[in-house]
């Protein structure tokens, strides 16, 4: 996987081979929670769970594949794309 190319194709994600990160900002707390809840089914379907944190209207997400030795894999790129789609 060419991580630099994959990251360039993602909007607003940054990182390196150890993890990728993005912060989503929403209009308010309720919208941030709605985003997190809307992502649950897709996250479960992928079988790949984010490290995420919510403070009021912001959801901070870090992705890395623990099973692969805490590195970024195709699973992380796929989940980043799903989260971007859900965030709209």
User: What is the domain-level CATH number for residue 33?
Assistant: 3.30.1360.20
| Confidence (pLDDT) at 7 | 82
| Confidence (pLDDT) at 27 | 98
pTM of the predicted model, to two decimals? Answer: 0.91
User: Measured on CA atoms in the order 39, 11, 22, 69, is the torsion positive or negative?
Assistant: positive
| Confidence (pLDDT) at 72 | 92
Phi, psi of 59 (to 5 degrees): -115, 115
Express each pLDDT in 37-88 by its tens digit.
999 999 999 999 999 999 999 999 999 998 888 889 999 999 999 999 999 9
| Confidence (pLDDT) at 6 | 84
Calpha distance 50→32 (Å, rounded): 15
Structural domain containing residue 50: 3-87
Give yes or no for residue 1 having a pLDDT over 80.
no
Q: For the chain, what is the domain count?
A: 1
Calpha distance 46→49 (Å, rounded): 8
């Amino acid at each position: 996987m060419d991580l630099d190319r994959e990251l360039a194709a993602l909007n607003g994600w940054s990182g390196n081979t150890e993890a990728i990160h993005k912060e989503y900002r929403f209009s308010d707390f309720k919208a941030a929670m709605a985003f997190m809840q809307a992502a649950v089914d897709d996250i479960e379907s992928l079988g790949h769970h984010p490290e995420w944190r919510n403070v009021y209207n912001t959801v901070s997400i870090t992705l890395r594949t623990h099973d692969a030795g805490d590195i970024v894999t195709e699973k992380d790129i796929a989940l980043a794309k799903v989260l971007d789609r859900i965030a709209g």
